[in-house]
A and B are shown apart, each in its own frame.
Chain A
């Protein structure tokens, strides 16, 4: 029987079952431990970035090439027929007829779902506006399992911009399948959206709001930091919250020995560089894991068995 992700579109985290998430994570671990250069042999993958991105695009393209596949595509929608007014539906019809799979990032929400309705080959969402970025969540989950040995029954704090942060939204949706406990640490104006809290209520997930990073640190296995963007506040407001959501090395004195700090990157100043040298910092390894998580996904989507 083919694996459950074979020839599937990868659009949004809520589309995944628990078993499918576990399969991607286990496959990523296997590919990290024992690299394979044959799983995409003879395959051609389109990498279509209608909006620029550094880490996501390069790690996807690295993943394809490491597995023995080849890549065509573009890094900026400015030079494509979209600029001439072609619809996304038509662009996708054409590119999907050339290739075995299509990775895409697009500035509009829903672009990947729409593309999946017009594509003859699997679409892999590399980010659609402020909506979803499922491969970020898969690499986050892989990093969590790598450091904690499980995704089950963990305590996880999310810190920073929880209102607009799509990585936070997708990761809570995924972890809610594994009975995790959440702490949401943010300025009031950037709190977790109501509809997501309602989803957690419906699933019976435990969560707590807090505005003190220091209080939460001793309670958690994973500290997931995000950036609070200055432009979301006026100057006076920003002064009030400035520094409250910044992680400094001395705040880690009470941390559990297994605790790891994750961050989707880019980091600006919300994690002091002194934290990098502590045993808790895991965000650079997490970014490297992006290649393995994307390898796992591409291998599963394009091979009946891996």
Chain B
């Protein structure tokens, strides 16, 4: 029987799998995965036994840190992040929501001081019902995570 992989196997790098379909490009953009110059393979709307359809991102030669993986949890809490060496999974990052996120998103409040000074943005993360709230360390305004993600 012939077996075809839909996405080419990775020798070394990181595979972010089980991303809800439609979120793949958002994650690519927010985490600037394409900016490294390394080869990135993106699969959109792939069929998945558990999820119906899913997105997948493979980044060559870059091992995502645990902190970065946790930041992913905001968008894709059930995603799996596997670090690959020599075609083998050497580390599986379990995703847990981080307590704070630094430097990834811009504050949606246009009058926040973080926009005009050379500081990293900084949000405290708090799960709330079926949403996640983010509170800016500087202006103290509270936003739904989707609003924060849209801004950048």
Please list the residues of chain A having a beta carbon within 8 angstroms of any beta carbon in chain B: 12, 14, 87-89, 106-111, 113-114, 117, 128-132, 195, 198
A111 to B136, CA, bound (A): 12
Q: Looking at chain B, what size class is its interface with the partner chain?
A: 10 to 19
Q: Encode B123-152 as 1/0 by CB contact (under 8 A) with A.
A: 000001000010011111110000000000
Name the one of B116, B137, B141 contacting A113, with C-beta atoms under 8 angstroms: B137
Q: Give the residues in chain B near A89, CB-CB below 8 Å.
A: 117-119
Tell me, rounded to whole Å, the shortest Cβ–Cβ distance linking A133 to chain B.
Answer: 12
B111: Cβ under 8 A from any A Cβ: yes
Tell me, rounded to whole Å, the shortest Cβ–Cβ distance linking A153 to chain B.
Answer: 28
Q: Give the residues in chain A near B133, CB-CB below 8 Å.
A: 195
Name the one of A88, A109, A195 contacting B139, with C-beta atoms under 8 angstroms: A109
A198 to B127, CA, bound (A): 13
Closest Cβ neighbor of B107 among chain A residues = A110
Are A117 and B140 within 8 A (Cβ)? no
Q: Give the residues in chain B near A130, CB-CB below 8 Å.
A: 111
Q: Give the residues in chain B near A109, CB-CB below 8 Å.
A: 109, 111-113, 138-141
Q: Give the residues in chain B near A128, CB-CB below 8 Å.
A: 113, 139
Tell me, rounded to whole Å, the shortest Cβ–Cβ distance linking B29 to chain A.
Answer: 25
Are B128 and A110 within 8 A (Cβ)? no
Please list the residues of chain B having a beta carbon within 8 angstroms of any beta carbon in chain A: 109, 111-114, 116-119, 128, 133, 136-142
A198 to B119, CA, bound (A): 30
Given contacts A12-B140, A109-B141, A131-B140, contact A114 B114 (CB under 8 A): yes
Given contacts A108-B113, A111-B113, A195-B133, contact A132 B140 (CB under 8 A): yes
Given contacts A129-B111, A198-B128, contact A110 B118 (CB under 8 A): no
Closest Cβ neighbor of A11 among chain B residues = B140
Are B118 and A114 within 8 A (Cβ)? no
Tell me, rounded to whole Å, the shortest Cβ–Cβ distance linking A30 to chain B.
Answer: 31
A199 to B136, CA, bound (A): 16
Closest Cβ neighbor of A106 among chain B residues = B113
- Since A89-B117, A114-B114, A128-B139 are in contact, a sample of 5 more A-B pairs with Cβ atoms closer than 8 Å, ordered by chain A residue number, is A88-B116, A108-B139, A109-B112, A110-B114, A110-B138
